[in-house]
Amino acid sequence: MSVLIFIDQAEGHVKKASLEALSYGAKVAEQLGTTAEGVVLGTVTEDLAALGKYGVKKIHHVSNDTLNHFDAQVFTAVIAQAVTAANATVVIFSNNVDGKAIAPRLAARLKAGLVSGAVALPDTSNGFVVKKNVFSGKAFANIALSSPIKIISLNANSYKIVAGEGTAEVAPLNATVEASRVKVTAVNKVTGEVPLSEAEIVVSGGRGLKGPENWGMIEELAHLLGAATACSRPVADVHWRPHHEHVGQTGLAIAPNLYIAIGISGAIQHLAGVNRSKVIVVINKDPEAPFFKAADYGIVGDAFEVVPKIIEAVKKV
């Protein structure tokens, strides 16, 4: 019996979200009196054994290089084999794009109960109960899983990365890798200094910025803060910004330490994707803008006056 954590990697590097999942999985294993193991697919350039410092004892590595391109069906089949190899009764994913695609497929395949978007450790005092956000972050649900295999996908920034001592045993897993039915014809890399889903700070703009030509100050502020840029949905819909920057109910759900919303009204559908941010700063010229109700700090003012002043202040720090 073990807790198995899917270690998500991109171009050979383990994603930050997976370090959270590893730390979380190690704690779940401790709660259950068992060990944490990891599974990673494809070519990895990082030292996998070093991931032992996050509490994982063994890492199953399927190094087949056809797994360097993500394919949810193929990955699901391989991870199912890792579940058997690890004799896992709990499987943990990050609730990111890959995790969202694999976890439900794996749950169906293994007839396992699934809680997607967990925000806390399971309560194992009486069964196995997992807490998650519901109704766009307006409420919590505690869901009891009773299936022999339980699957959890963990929301980003819901569990602190805990690094200690130790190395993991790296065990090559000779899994059957079925042929992909997807043909990758081109890869368009997202340029940007910090990937939005992993950013600690996000500077986000809305329709209040009037047009794409005004995003220079958003990018400059983001650059100075080491932040990622994001936007509201209408901004992406009219192609002022690319769609991968759109956050909200129908876009990416993020939980950075600091979210700076500039010229965004704060509609409920937008808040659904950002209300787990640790600190929210709102800049809006309308004092009645709904976003101020969700803000930790608010500046009522014209973005075209306020943001350049913030940029100058940050430059002086």
Structure token pair of residue 305 = 């006056």
Q: Would you say 264 is a known binding-site residue?
A: yes
38/21 Cα distance (integer angstroms): 10
The answer for residues whose C-beta is within 8 angstroms of residue 51's C-beta and 6 or more apart is: 7, 14, 22, 38, 59, 168
Region for 157 from its dihedrals, namely left if φ exceeds 0, alpha if ψ lies in -120 to 50, beta otherwise: left
Given the complex with ligand FAD, which of 55 and 248 has the nearer CB atom? 248
Q: How far is the CB of 140 from ligand FAD (least distance, A)?
A: 21
265/43 Cα distance (integer angstroms): 44
Q: Would you say 109 is a known binding-site residue?
A: no
User: Hey, which residues between 191 and 250 contact ligand FAD (CB under 6 A)?
Assistant: 206-208, 232-235, 248-250
Given the complex with ligand FAD, which of 24 and 240 has the nearer CB atom? 240
- In sequence order, the β-bridge partners of residue 14 are 9
Tell me whether strands 139-144 and 129-134 are parallel, antiparallel or unpaired: antiparallel
| CB contact at 8 A, 158 and 119 | yes
Q: How far is the CB of 262 from ligand FAD (least distance, A)?
A: 7
User: Hey, which residues between 247 and 306 contact ligand FAD (CB under 6 A)?
Assistant: 248-251, 263-265, 267, 269-270, 273, 283-286, 289, 302-304
Point out the residue whose Cβ comes nearest to ligand FAD: 248
Q: Would you say 268 is a known binding-site residue?
A: yes
DSSP letters, 47-64, are -GGGGGGGT--EEEEE--
Q: Would you say 233 is a known binding-site residue?
A: yes
Given the complex with ligand FAD, which of 195 and 234 has the nearer CB atom? 234
Contacting positions for ligand FAD (CB under 6 A): 206-208, 232-235, 248-251, 263-265, 267, 269-270, 273, 283-286, 289, 302-304
**Can you say which residues are annotated as belonging to the binding site for FAD?**
207, 232-233, 263-270, 284
